[in-house]
Structure 1
Amino acid sequence: MPTPEASSIDSTARAHHVAAPVESAGGPELPQYSVAKVLAIWAAAAVPMALLAWVVTPVAAGGDASEGRFATVLIAALTGGLVWQAVLVLGLVAHEQRSLRWPVLRDALWLRAPSDDRGRRGGRLWWWVAVFALGFFLVQLVPTGLPEPSDRSLGAFLASTEGQEHFSGAWGLFALVVVMMTFNSFLGEELLFRGLLLPRMRGAFGRRDRMVDALLTGLYHLHQPWSMPGAVLAGALFAYPSRRFRSAWMGIAIHSTQSVVLLVVIGTLVLR
């Protein structure tokens, strides 16, 4: 039977849309965010990316920029936005936990091996990555019906003669893409949505936290709004196993399959 003190804490938490701290993946309890705080952190990630893509990039590239220069500036700008997300995550964890030591980060950001309610950890649970990665691949084949600007389509640029010539022997640009992909599928986007936000959203959204996390992932793509429908579906494929197995590594691994494929394609062009 709960004590009067515990009941008082739960009542106060519900009144502010914040639940009492919940257990991390085998680690210490994590505080729960209010709806307002979740949305504020989302905006702190999404708005800079939109400004970098739609305001900073055109100005920095110049009105008469070639396709190659525009693509390079856009990649650099988005990389900066993703790096900012990593800084944001570390800053929030440092404020919350008063430490950035690895054991603290590991528990605070769910950077532990997947585990289930039966007490299993790691091992065969990692095979779920392959299942959800297949779903992620299929999602990317579904047409969204939204037009994608030709000057912002990386796929179209890589398929063009100018794009292939632009990447040929461009090891510096390739290194920049590696950094962008690393922060996109791990240190920035995934660490923010599945490492920081998802473990702290149950207090505000209950069991709908995975759905809300996926929706926020899609709406975050203000820098490329044509991808929002697919990003919501992809976000669900990242959020479900991350929550189910209480491990951000699941979302990171699934998302990283896209990065690996893209880096292989671009690496092939660089070697030409």
Structure 2
Amino acid sequence: MYFPARFTGLATLAWDSFKILLIWAAATGPMAILAWGVAPQLIRPDDPMPGLVFWRWVVAGMVWQLVLSLLILKLEGVPFRPYALARRLWLTSPIWRPSGKPMVMAFLLVPAFVALGFVGDDLVTRLFQATPIGLHLLEMAPAYADIRTLDVPAASGRWDILGLALASSLFNYLLGEALLFHGVLLPRMEKAWGRWAWLGNGLLFAAYHAHKFWLMPGLVISCLCYSLPAQAFRSNWLAVLIHGLEGVVLIVAVTAVILQP
């Protein structure tokens, strides 16, 4: 039976999009279950820092994303060798796409995207939380889900919190979220969605944050600031740097809390 090329193309697009959404659901579902199903059940009423329990299970959700990423790469038949992984995950130097030549100067854009993501997220979050829906979601969020609630006297001298922060940063900015959404999904999205892959990737990455549901709309800008330069210059090192600077701030802040008298 003959199928018109246009129909075949649409069918391929639909199938590729379905697989992308399936991967997104495989990351988002477990994270939501761990954050809002498992963690609350393990928090003791007398725990002075319930946020640590919540944080540990969020990290567990990101560890699952590493496992999921490795499973997908295995199913794709990608050799687990440095060169092959770097090419598949776009962990290569930035290039100027029209010529294919290296574009190291692209790293100079990192501060601009960091600033745009920070200002954009803050502005959108303020606007969203000024709406009835945004305010309602903010009121629904338990206090322990805000990392700032860990700034309490009980945290003084707790170096295990720094270990948790380091693990969180590793699986957030490199081996978990970043690996799955930017390394595994973004190149796959480009094959399916072409030049608009960065937009779809940013929106799906923002929508994945079920463990931060009250902030979701405000995360869109920063999520786009990761995917746009990564696709534009075909290098996820840009996304790693832009996203990973949050981790530096986190480590400094956690260390300051631990060292408080």
Shorter-chain TM range is 0.7 to 0.9
Does the 8 Å contact 1:89/1:191 carry over to 2?
A: yes
Match of 1:29 in 2: none
Runs (4+) off by over 4 Å? 8-14
Does the 8 Å contact 2:122/2:218 carry over to 1?
A: no
Select between 262-271 and 47-56 the one with higher mean Cα deviation: 262-271
Gaps of 5+ in 2: none
Please state how far the C-alpha of 1:212 moved relative to its aligned partner. Answer: 1.1
| Selected match of 2:66 from 65, 86, 90 | 86
Separation in 2, partners of 1:270, 1:184: 21
After superposition, the CA RMSD in angstroms is 2.0
Matched, 1:72 2:52: yes
Separation in 2, partners of 1:66, 1:84: 26
Separation in 2, partners of 1:236, 1:46: 18
Deviation digits for residues 64-97 of structure 1 (CA, Å, limit 9, x no counterpart)? 14240x2111111011110110111111112212
Matched, 1:221 2:227: no
**1:258-269 alignment to 2 at 5 Å?**
258-269=246-257
Please state how far the C-alpha of 1:99 moved relative to its aligned partner. Answer: 2.1
| Selected match of 1:40 from 22, 41, 46 | 22
Please state how far the C-alpha of 1:241 moved relative to its aligned partner. Answer: 0.2
Separation in 1, partners of 2:96, 2:68: 29
Match of 2:147 in 1: 154
Separation in 2, partners of 1:130, 1:202: 25
Match of 1:124 in 2: 105
Match of 1:110 in 2: 90
Amino acid at match of 1:153: D
Give the TM-score of the pair, scaled to structure 2. Answer: 0.86
Matched, 1:135 2:123: no
Please state how far the C-alpha of 1:9 moved relative to its aligned partner. Answer: 9.1
SS in 2 for 1:113: coil
Matched, 1:17 2:13: yes
Question: Alpha carbons of 1:46 and 1:14: their partners in 2 closer, same or farther (altered >3 Å)?
Answer: same
**1:188-227 alignment to 2 at 5 Å?**
188-227=176-215
Separation in 1, partners of 2:59, 2:154: 19
Matched, 1:51 2:33: yes
Separation in 2, partners of 1:245, 1:59: 44
Separation in 1, partners of 2:212, 2:152: 22
Match of 1:230 in 2: 218
Does the 8 Å contact 1:97/1:104 carry over to 2?
A: no
Please state how far the C-alpha of 1:256 moved relative to its aligned partner. Answer: 0.7
Amino acid at match of 2:102: R
Please state how far the C-alpha of 1:204 moved relative to its aligned partner. Answer: 2.9
Gaps of 5+ in 1: 1-7, 19-32
Give the TM-score of the pair, scaled to structure 1. Answer: 0.83
Q: Which has the higher helix share?
A: 2
% same residue: 33
Match of 1:4 in 2: none
Separation in 2, partners of 1:57, 1:198: 30
Does the 8 Å contact 1:167/1:174 carry over to 2?
A: no
Match of 1:257 in 2: 245
| Count of matched residue positions in the alignment of Structure 1 and Structure 2 | 244
Deviation digits for residues 161-212 of structure 1 (CA, Å, limit 9, x no counterpart)? xx33232111112101110122111211111111111111134323222111
Please state how far the C-alpha of 1:270 moved relative to its aligned partner. Answer: 1.5
